[in-house]
Structure 1
Amino acid sequence: MDPDTMELFRLQAEIAKTLSDPYRLVLLHELREGEKSVSQLVSTLGLPQSNVSRHLAVLRERSIVFTRRDGTTIYYRLANPRIAEACDIVREVLQSQLAHNHALVSAFNVK
């Protein structure tokens, strides 16, 4: 395999690892609506600010989100909205699989 292609797959794996936490996925889902402050995200997730800040730092290190400071408030936004679209596609696939599995279980229980 071409080294550049392999590097691209390695980087994709790093992004997948970064997104492997459900709270980070919720953060991305929330940020799809636009820029939000840390306190807004803390309120939405119901986690301590230190936990939310840690998750946001991981997303920032991977350039998945960007920050903007206004006085003492830090705002976060998606670096590229297509990452949220990719997460939507994965969720749609999962919902389809779950519906299929539910149909199989229901059919099995009828017999």
Structure 2
Amino acid sequence: MKDLPPEALEQIAGYFQVLAEPTRLRILNLLREGERNVGELAQACGFTAANVSRHLSLMTKHGLVERESRGTAVYYRFADESVYALCDLVCGNIARQMQASVKRQQAFFGAA
């Protein structure tokens, strides 16, 4: 991100904002298994089709998912596999932080 203009930083922040919503992460995780339509995603998530559709629209706008119309249904699939790598990296980092926190707590309580 070195030497990026403010406009580019705003785009990057917008991209991360899309990933900062648990419902969208859940949808992306479902799409990891393969393409699905809005109804299938809504049923799997336990949300309304309108809610899922709104999230998919935003993710499409930011290039995370692609949509394809087939008859009366629209199917969504993942557009950028690198997001999975990014999410896996973040999950690994969080797991390491949690492990370190547990070790610190054990050291503290073990000293008592």
* TM superposition score normalised by structure 1: 0.86
Structure 1 residue runs of 4 or more that deviate by more than 2 Å after TM superposition: 5-11
- Is 1:93–2:88 an aligned residue pair? no
- Consecutive unaligned residues of structure 2, counting only runs of 5 or more, are none
Tell me how large the CA RMSD over aligned residues is.
1.6
Kindly report which structure 2 residues correspond to 1:1-111, keeping only aligned pairs within 5 A, or say none: 2=3, 5-6=4-5, 7-111=7-111
**How far 1:32 sits from its partner (Å)?**
1.7
- Bigger RCO (CA 8 Å, 6+ sep): 1
Aligned length: 109
**How far 1:108 sits from its partner (Å)?**
1.7
Q: Distance in 2 between matches of 1:60 and 1:13?
A: 16
Percent identity over paired residues:
32
* TM superposition score normalised by structure 2: 0.86
